[in-house]
Amino acid sequence: MHRPFPGTGGDSRLQEVALYSSWLGSIVEVALLQGFLDPNHAEMLKTRRAEGNEVLFRASGELGEPVRSYVARLIAIEHLLAELPTR
């Protein structure tokens, strides 16, 4: 059975990954509809990237597969979003 997220439960590491996934997904949805990155979202991404992804890297390393691959894909999506034109 395919699950949309690699884990469930009360583990704070999984909750951090789920929160990041949800936040990023909401930005992707808007960018896909508009065909560009909203300036507010661009600023949020810039701030997020400046803060770094240590918490996500740590969580993915501690939790192993499939979380590690899932986080890698999310970070790749974040990088692609940052390259979109802003209007």
- Over residues 55-86, the pLDDT tens digits come to 999 999 999 999 999 999 999 999 999 999 99
Percentage of the chain lying above the pLDDT 90 cut: 86
* Whole-number Å distance between alpha carbons of 56 and 39: 25
Q: How many domains does the chain have?
A: 1
Asked if pLDDT for residue 39 goes beyond 50, the answer is yes
Domain span at 33:
12-82
Domain contains 31: yes
Distance CA 48, CA 78 (A): 10
Report the Cα 5 to chain-centroid distance in Å. 12
Residue 74 lies in a domain: yes
pTM above 0.75, yes or no: yes
For residue 73, being part of any structural domain is answered with yes
Task: Label residue 10 by pLDDT band (50, 70, 90).
Answer: confident
- Stretch 31-55: mean pLDDT, rounded? 94
